[in-house]
Amino acid sequence: MPVSSAREELENGSLVAVLDGLCVPPMPIYLVYRSGVNKPRKLQALLDFIDQWVAEGKFSFSQ
């Protein structure tokens, strides 16, 4: 499980890191969509959600 997915549980002690030294190589994530002005509302909502998720530190590009 990625640390970013369990950060709160690790901090409050409800989860304990067992293989703390194990590092999984980073995996790129791509979001491919047609560029242009007329983005569907659902796509724009997803893009906004991802931007907010990263800005709040719920996902980071490094541990």
Q: What is the pLDDT of residues 2-58, one digit of tens each?
A: 777 888 999 999 999 888 777 777 777 788 888 877 888 999 999 899 888 888 876
How far apart CA 61 and CA 12 sit, in angstroms, is: 22
